């Protein structure tokens, strides 16, 4: 993983000072090297910060230039099947001077052109200036694992791996998108829009292949589209295929020329990855072990999964190193401010801090690559509180009372959770009244809410989606993009490349073809993964309740955090959105309400904008 910046100007030359400032914003993503390359008579600049993972020699640094075609490349990510592609290209006569995946991309472009992206198994965000045509190409991997933000204004195109680098390169003022703010403050929704929280900045979509001509015209193409849901595909078929695919995906992600490690919780996702790692000990030359996250002190002990993680490890990979990382369940304000600066956008829960803490501890061991279980919950419908009520609504709508009764009898679905989800079927006028009485909605300014009534209709529409539609939507634009941002920023803050085998495009495609209604049932979610891992993971993991994820205790501590400084001197822009007095009152009344984190986090984010990456235009 690395960081990249692209800056183009018309008709004047691109500013090297602006590029320098943008690259400085990405120093944490690439502490090992940096470089810059100019084209279009200095109207186009390509910049790069390198985190050296494959072939750590300086010859593999970027921007990398093809000596035969003068094509130049900046690349963030990893092409896991680079060895196989290298062999194919050598058979075609290609001669390599490095052992890097970067050079594989460059020579694949020379031989296959835009068709090369279909051959890649990996995660990437990249920019290629094609020497023969002079055109600039931007591409992002199929799922959007690697970030790529873009700001286009009159005479300027700025593209980068992080928002603050786009802001530094474009040198434009900041403006908060009020509709995106409403989505977050009302439902914790993030990363689900093509635009970001900041007006005029968008994400280059997953699967994109954009072409930019020297005169500034942008053609927005795609190299990949996911298949439709297959009504004839069943859990049993997926479960038979999944173990072999998972072992292969893990094997590809163990390829590294530097030290690597793996996360491990008490759940099925990271446990499945641990099982697959245990199947190929011959590939663990640089492996530093498994890392689990737990809690110091009494607070949070009921959410501590380290003992369960150790039991899983002893079952699937005995003898491999294990490390327990412990922290306080109630974070300090300074830590939260660091988290927001790293994430660049609000986060749905303070539990995201756990990943940041865990990557920090792993980094201290010298590991630069970490395998995770990210993406499994989204691909295989693991969020039982989200999906089981939708399965119940589906059963009731079809008058399938036997299935409805089985769901209501499930230990995974309480009557309260079911009712809170089913209430979204009420008329919008009734919903608005109920919604407004929620503690986290009481703290919002009436003028802000009234101005965003249309955006609130969009929030309601999302909650009313049918189960199979929701399952696809959560992968493509609602939940998975949010998880990907959390993982990328938390890892890169500590100079670590995060790799998840579940995000292998072959596994993702298999999961996305299976209807969500076949992934969930009275036994819970992730039914195909449960079937696949039966006999491979401990029964308590396969048949147990859904664990609530890394850092579950933090989300219940919002009212116990020391927020005095933040609430006494809130950011200037907060007055348009949040009633601070009402927020104090709701925190006093319901200190354990996780949804009150949203206005608190929004304040932290606004303060970061006002003091950090640029000037917030009010």
In this predicted structure, which of 447-461, 483-497, 604-618 has the lowest mean pLDDT?
Answer: 604-618
pLDDT for the residue numbered 173: 81
How much is the pLDDT for 618? 34
Same domain assignment for residues 18 and 137: yes
**In this structure, are 121 and 240 located in the same domain?**
no
The answer to whether position 181 is within a domain reads: no
DSSP character string of 413-432: --HHHHHHHHGGGS-HHHHH
Does residue 449 lie within any of the structural domains? Answer: no
Domain presence at residue 611: no
Instruction: Looking at the structure, tell me whether residues 249 and 170 fall in a common domain.
Output: no
Q: How many helices (H) and strands (E) does the chain have?
A: 26, 17
Inter-residue contact 149 to 205 (CB < 8 Å): no
Q: Do 218 and 246 belong to one domain?
A: no
Last residue of a domain, which of 168, 194, 222?
Answer: 222
Half-sphere exposure of 610 (CA within 13 A, CB side): 13
Phi, psi of 398, deg, nearest 5: -95, 5
CATH number for the domain that contains residue 245: 3.40.50.620
So what's the pLDDT on residue 614? 53
Indicate left, alpha or beta for 495 from its phi (over 0: left) and psi (-120 to 50: alpha). Answer: left
What proportion of the chain, given as a percentage, has pLDDT over 90?
86
Instruction: Report how far residue 83's alpha carbon sits from residue 423's, in angstroms, rounded to the nearest whole number.
Output: 53
Query: Is residue 91 a part of any domain in this protein?
Result: yes
Domain range enclosing 114: 4-176+202-222
Residue keyed to tokens 């959770």: 417
Q: How confident is the model at residue 133, as a pLDDT?
A: 97
Total domains in the chain come to 2
SS (H, E, C) 290-354: EEEEEECCCCCHHHCCHHHHHHHHHHHCCCCCEEEEEECCCCCHHHHHHHHHHHCCCCCCCCHHH
Q: Are residues 81 and 154 in the same domain?
A: yes
Looking at residue 552, its pLDDT comes to 85
Residue pLDDT, tens place only, 228-279? 999 999 999 999 999 999 999 999 999 999 999 999 999 999 999 999 999 9
pLDDT digits (tens, 9 = 90+) for 328-352: 999 999 999 999 999 999 999 999 9
- Please tell me which residue, 250 or 299, carries the higher pLDDT value: 250
Last residue of a domain, one of 501, 526, 546: 546
Q: What are 569's two structure tokens?
A: 């001197």
Q: Show the beta-strand stretches assigned E in 264-379.
A: 287-295, 322-327, 369-371
The proportion of the chain whose per-residue pLDDT surpasses 70, expressed as a percent, equals 98
Q: Is 59 a residue whose pLDDT tops 80?
A: yes
DSSP string, 25-40: HTTTT-BSEEEEEEEG
What does the pLDDT read at residue 549? Answer: 67
Q: What is the pLDDT of residue 280?
A: 94
Backbone angles phi, psi at 575, to 5 degrees: -60, -25
* Distance from C-alpha of 149 to C-alpha of 134, rounded to nearest angstrom: 22
Q: Give 617's pLDDT tier (boundaries 50, 70, 90).
A: very low
Q: Are 478 and 189 a contacting pair, CB within 8 Å?
A: yes
Whether residue 22 is found in the same domain as residue 165: yes
Give 453 or 534, the one with higher predicted confidence: 534
Does 156 participate in catalysis according to the annotation?
Answer: no
The answer to the question of whether 101 is labelled as a binding residue is yes
> In this structure, is residue 244 part of a structural domain?
yes
What is the predicted pLDDT for the residue at 440? 96
546, 571, 588 — which closes off a domain? 546
**Same-domain pairing of 127 and 261:** no
Shared-domain flag, residues 206 and 263: no
DSSP E strand boundaries for 80-181: 122-129, 136-140, 149-153, 156-160
- Which H or E run contains 79? strand 72-79
What pTM value is reported for the model? 0.95
**Preceding peptide of 63 cis, ω within 30°:** yes
Q: Please provide the average confidence, as pLDDT, over all residues in the chain.
A: 94
- Say whether pLDDT at 105 is over 50: yes
Residue 537: strand pairing partners: 534
Kindly indicate the confidence band of residue 528, based on its pLDDT and cuts at 50, 70 and 90: very high
Residue 613 has pLDDT above 80, yes or no: no
Residues 54-78: what's their mean pLDDT?
Answer: 97
Is residue 617 domain-resident? no
Collapsed DSSP state (helix, strand, coil) of residue 290: strand
Evaluate whether residue 469 is within a structural domain: no
Residues 250 and 136 in one domain: no
Average pLDDT over residues 583-612: 95
């Amino acid at each position: 993983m690395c960081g990249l910046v692209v800056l183009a100007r018309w008709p004047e030359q691109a500013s090297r000072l602006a590029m320098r400032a943008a690259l400085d914003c990405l120093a944490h993503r690439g502490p090992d090297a940096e470089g810059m390359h100019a084209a279009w008579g200095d109207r186009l600049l390509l910049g790069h910060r390198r985190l050296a993972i494959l072939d750590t020699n300086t010859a593999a640094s970027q921007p990398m230039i093809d000596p035969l075609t003068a094509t130049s490349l900046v690349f963030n990510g990893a092409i896991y099947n680079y060895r196989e592609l290298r062999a194919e290209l050598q058979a075609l006569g290609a001669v390599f001077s490095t052992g890097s995946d970067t050079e594989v991309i460059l020579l694949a472009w020379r031989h296959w052109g835009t068709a090369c992206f279909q051959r890649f198994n990996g995660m990437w965000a990249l920019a290629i200036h094609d020497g023969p045509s002079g055109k600039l190409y931007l591409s992002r991997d199929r799922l959007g694992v690697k970030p790529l933000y873009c700001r286009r204004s009159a005479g300027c195109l700025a593209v980068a791996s992080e928002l603050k680098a786009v802001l530094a390169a474009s040198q434009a003022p900041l403006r908060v998108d009020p509709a995106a703010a409403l989505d977050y403050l009302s439902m914790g929704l993030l990363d689900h829009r093509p635009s970001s929280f900041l007006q005029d900045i968008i994400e280059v979509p997953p699967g994109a292949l954009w072409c930019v001509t020297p005169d500034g015209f942008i053609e927005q193409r795609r190299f990949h589209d996911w298949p439709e849901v297959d009504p004839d595909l069943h859990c049993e078929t997926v479960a038979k295929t999944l173990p072999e695919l998972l072992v292969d995906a893990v094997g590809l992600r163990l390829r590294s020329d530097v030290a690597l490690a793996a996360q491990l919780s008490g759940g099925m996702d990271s446990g499945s990855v641990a099982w697959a790692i245990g199947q190929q000990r011959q590939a663990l030359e640089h492996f530093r072990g498994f890392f689990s996250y737990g809690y110091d002190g009494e607070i949070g002990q009921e959410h501590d999964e380290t003992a369960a993680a150790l039991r899983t490890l002893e079952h699937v990979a005995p003898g491999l190193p294990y490390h327990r990382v412990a922290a306080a369940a109630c974070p300090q304000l300074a830590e939260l401010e660091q988290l927001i600066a790293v994430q660049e956008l609000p986060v749905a829960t303070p539990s995201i801090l756990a990943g940041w803490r865990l990557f920090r501890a792993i980094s201290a061991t010298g590991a630069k690559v970490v395998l995770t279980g990210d993406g499994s919950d989204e691909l295989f419908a693991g969020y039982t509180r989200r999906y089981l009520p939708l399965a119940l609504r589906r059963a009731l709508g079809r008058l399938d009372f036997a299935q409805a009764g089985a769901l209501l009898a499930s230990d995974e679905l309480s009557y309260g959770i079911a009712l809170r989800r089913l209430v979204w079927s009420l008329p919008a006028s009734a919903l608005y009244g109920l919604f407004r009485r929620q503690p986290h909605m009481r703290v919002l300014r009436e003028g802000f809410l009234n101005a965003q009534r249309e955006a609130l209709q969009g929030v309601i529409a999302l909650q009313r989606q049918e189960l199979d539609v929701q399952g696809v939507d959560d992968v493509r634009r609602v939940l998975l993009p949010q998880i990907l941002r959390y993982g990328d920023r938390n890892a890169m803050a500590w100079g670590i490349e995060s790799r998840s085998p579940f995000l292998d495009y072959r596994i993702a495609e298999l999961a996305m073809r299976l209807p969500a209604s076949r992934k969930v049932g009275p036994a819970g979610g992730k039914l195909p993964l449960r079937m696949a891992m039966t006999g491979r993971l401990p029964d308590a993991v396969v048949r147990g309740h859904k664990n609530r994820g890394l850092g579950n205790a933090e989300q219940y501590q919002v009212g116990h955090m020391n927020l005095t400084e933040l609430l006494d001197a809130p950011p200037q822009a907060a007055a348009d959105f949040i009633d601070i007095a009402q927020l104090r009152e709701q925190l006093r009344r319901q200190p354990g309400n996780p949804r009150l984190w949203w206005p608190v986090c929004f304040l932290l984010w606004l303060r970061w904008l006002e003091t950090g990456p640029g000037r917030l235009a009010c």
